[in-house]
Chain A
Amino acid sequence: MKVLVLVKETFDTEVKIVLENEIISEKDVKYIINPYDEFAIEEAIKIKEKLGGEVILYSVGREEASATLKTGLAMGADQANIIKSNVKNSMTVSQLLSEAINKHDNEFDLILAGWVSIDDNNAQVPGRLSQLLNIPFVNVVTKVDVTGEIVLCEREGEGCQEIVEVRIPAIIAVQRGINEPRYPTMKNIMQAKRKNVNLLELTAPIDKVKVSYQFPEQKNKGEIIDGSNPEQAAKVLVDRLKESKIL
């Protein structure tokens, strides 16, 4: 099994957003692997442990992402490819990934990815890539079972769980609950140092979307109601909700 995993480097959740001229500053930011992509890496390693083969990480981003991707290599991935680019647009990112995969790993069996990224909340790349590579795609998956060429997935539908069957090659985008990502051991971390992170250079097409960033509107400071007299506090709260026409 050759399993590719799409990995995005995201800001650590605790990072305070700083804006400079309506652009999000990346100065002194601590990065992590998008938590949903960690589930994808874990699942890929499980498949490799069961069926053999290799796991290759693919990421579009800054050169320095290699440090972040080392976590994935320490978890058990074999190598990583970074497509060096500062593009953020999902359509462009998908095109770059498709081009790189076609060039370097077009004989893959599965592509795994997190279904959404916690930073831009776009959730577009897996779906777009499936169209570019012309392969089936199962989204928001909480269980994967590979037997021969058959991939059986359990996915979150609208108020239901769906069991979906596709054949390899396919793309699977995973949801929380599919597994618990492992913590790399010291030995794994040392081994990961010797694994390859390759830099790929591709030219990105230009998109025509004008993007800017702002802070959300500041809400008025809230009112703190003393709860030492619960009866009174409940009454005050209900009154306030009536006054502000929320109820």
Chain B
Amino acid sequence: MMQNILIVVEEKDGSLRKVCEEMLSFCSQYSNKLGFKVTALTYGNCLNQELFNQIASFGVGNILVIEDHQFARYNPELLINILKNIINEYNPNLILFGNTAVGKDLAPRLAQALKVQMFSDVTKIEFANDSIKFTRPIYGGKAIETDELNLENKLVLATVRPNNLPKYENNPAKPGIKKLNDKVIDNLTYTVKEVIEKLKLTKSINEAEIIVSGGRGLKNAENFAILEDLANTLGAAVGASRAAVDAGWKSHSVQVGQTGKTVSPKLYIACGISGAIQHLAGMSTAKCIIAINKDPDAPILKVADFGIVGDLFDIVPLLTKAFKAVTKG
């Protein structure tokens, strides 16, 4: 039986990461129904009360806090050691991470350090009496894998894909903070020498609710400006197909597809993207897909919820105008 869930919470610029809100809200909802305990774990070099209040607003009041100046830079070796100690003490049955850069790196190491199973990039979690079931898209969304594991008081790890767990209206809890004073080890074999921050100007596509993406049909880098306009109107991030990245119009960090990022936004607007299978692998789990393409036979139109066959250079600016009118109204 599920008794104890530990959620490893990440913050960004003092706010909770979206996927962490989703995990907190989801687990909190089921903790009441099924009677298990949910604990959030935060770490950092300078955490604030505002963050703890945010966590508690999702109904999770048990908050473990580890603060150390060494957390200013992400170092997996440092965190693994601390997490191992905490887990031995708190005995969770399930540890959840967001499927973020940190979660993807940390969870497999921790799973092996604890010699337990782990499920990556899950989109659904179901609790049964004595077992737990995870659902995860594989083969670039062409198939779904279902993993069922008997808990038998054992521990299992999972990383959760953003924009997938349902969010609930939770009753806020009172934050109960427990500061941990675990000794941070210092003889590390993994040294972070330097961190080069990327320009904050570009919105990250990882957790974006709306993504406007451009492909070969954009013809050059400058034309992406019309997608930026649309994206700004919608509060969206701008993505690109491999063709656009290979042509040097956009950086690899915004590439959607098999050798780029896998995203599941609520709305994905593909402009001038034919929809090669490698591209579909990165975005087919979007809730709603809009495709704008000149070619009526483009594969993207087959997966689109709404497709416009026409010239994106005419249509996109008109859409921006129409959306502006809607958001104002």
Contact (A159, B148) CB under 8 Å given A17-B139, A121-B262: no
CB 8 Å contact bits of A177-219 with B (1 = contact, 0 = none): 1000000000000000000000000000001111111111001
- Residue pair A160, B112 in contact (C-beta under 8 Å): no
Q: Closest Cβ of chain B: how far from A13's Cβ, in Å?
A: 6
- Residue pair A91, B290 in contact (C-beta under 8 Å): no
Cβ of B258: which chain A residues have Cβ within 8 Å of it?
Answer: 13, 35, 118
Cβ of A160: which chain B residues have Cβ within 8 Å of it?
Answer: 195-198
**CB-contacts of A203-246 with B (<8 A):** 207-216, 219-220, 222-228, 230-231, 233-235, 237-238, 240-242, 244, 246
Contact (A35, B117) CB under 8 Å given A128-B109, A212-B146, A222-B307: no
- Give the distance in Å from the alpha carbon of A210 to the alpha carbon of B12 in the complex: 36
Closest to A215 in B: B143
Contact (A227, B195) CB under 8 Å given A128-B109, A214-B146: no
Cβ of B149: which chain A residues have Cβ within 8 Å of it?
Answer: 208-210
Cβ of A36: which chain B residues have Cβ within 8 Å of it?
Answer: 259
Residue B288 is within 8 A (CB to CB) of chain A in the complex: yes
- Give the distance in Å from the alpha carbon of A152 to the alpha carbon of B197 in the complex: 18
Closest to B204 in A: A159
- Give the distance in Å from the alpha carbon of A136 to the alpha carbon of B148 in the complex: 31
Q: How many residues of A contact B (CB 8 A)?
A: 81
- Give the distance in Å from the alpha carbon of A163 to the alpha carbon of B283 in the complex: 30
Cβ of A164: which chain B residues have Cβ within 8 Å of it?
Answer: 190-193
Cβ of B323: which chain A residues have Cβ within 8 Å of it?
Answer: 238, 247
CB 8 Å contact bits of A83-108 with B (1 = contact, 0 = none): 00000011100100000000000000
Residue B30 is within 8 A (CB to CB) of chain A in the complex: no
Q: Closest Cβ of chain A: how far from B280's Cβ, in Å?
A: 10
Stretch at the interface among B97-105, B163-171, B173-181, B218-226: B97-105
Which of A11, A94, A159 interacts with B112 by CB under 8 Å? Answer: A94
Cβ of A137: which chain B residues have Cβ within 8 Å of it?
Answer: 76, 109, 190
Contact (A233, B101) CB under 8 Å given A162-B192, A176-B260, A216-B144: no
Cβ of B121: which chain A residues have Cβ within 8 Å of it?
Answer: 121, 123
- Residue pair B146, A124 in contact (C-beta under 8 Å): no
- Residue pair B288, A225 in contact (C-beta under 8 Å): no
Which of B113, B193, B278, B303 interacts with A13 by CB under 8 Å? Answer: B278
Which of B141, B145, B190 interacts with A211 by CB under 8 Å? Answer: B145
Q: Closest Cβ of chain B: how far from A9's Cβ, in Å?
A: 14
Stretch at the interface among B37-45, B49-57, B59-67, B313-321: B313-321
- Residue pair B307, A13 in contact (C-beta under 8 Å): no
- Residue pair B146, A159 in contact (C-beta under 8 Å): no
Tier of interface size on chain B: 35 or more
- Residue pair A90, B118 in contact (C-beta under 8 Å): yes
- Residue pair B307, A162 in contact (C-beta under 8 Å): no
Cβ of B277: which chain A residues have Cβ within 8 Å of it?
Answer: 13-14
- Give the distance in Å from the alpha carbon of A118 to the alpha carbon of B137 in the complex: 11
Contact (A124, B148) CB under 8 Å given A157-B101, A222-B303, A238-B322: no
- Residue pair A176, B259 in contact (C-beta under 8 Å): yes
Residue B309 is within 8 A (CB to CB) of chain A in the complex: yes
Prevailing SS type, chain A contact patch:
mixed
Residue A20 is within 8 A (CB to CB) of chain B in the complex: no
Cβ of A208: which chain B residues have Cβ within 8 Å of it?
Answer: 149-150
CB 8 Å contact bits of B269-313 with A (1 = contact, 0 = none): 000000001100100110111101000100001111111111100
Which of A11, A35, A125, A225 interacts with B139 by CB under 8 Å? Answer: A11
- Residue pair B310, A121 in contact (C-beta under 8 Å): no
Q: Closest Cβ of chain B: how far from A236's Cβ, in Å?
A: 8
Closest to A118 in B: B258
Cβ of A94: which chain B residues have Cβ within 8 Å of it?
Answer: 112
- Residue pair B112, A136 in contact (C-beta under 8 Å): no
- Residue pair B146, A224 in contact (C-beta under 8 Å): no
Closest to B276 in A: A13
- Residue pair B305, A176 in contact (C-beta under 8 Å): no
Cβ of A19: which chain B residues have Cβ within 8 Å of it?
Answer: 143
A-B contact pairs, 28 of them (CB 8 A): A14-B277, A118-B139, A118-B140, A118-B281, A126-B108, A127-B105, A158-B102, A160-B197, A162-B194, A164-B191, A164-B192, A166-B189, A166-B190, A176-B252, A176-B259, A209-B147, A211-B145, A211-B148, A216-B137, A216-B285, A220-B305, A222-B289, A225-B306, A227-B315, A230-B315, A233-B318, A241-B288, A246-B287
**Using a CB–CB distance below 8 Å, which chain A residues touch chain B?**
11, 13-14, 16-17, 19, 24, 35-36, 89-91, 94, 118-132, 135-140, 152, 156-167, 176-177, 207-216, 219-220, 222-228, 230-231, 233-235, 237-238, 240-242, 244, 246-247
- 6 new A-B contacts at CB < 8 Å, known A17-B139, A227-B310, A235-B322: A91-B112, A152-B193, A163-B196, A209-B148, A216-B284, A234-B315
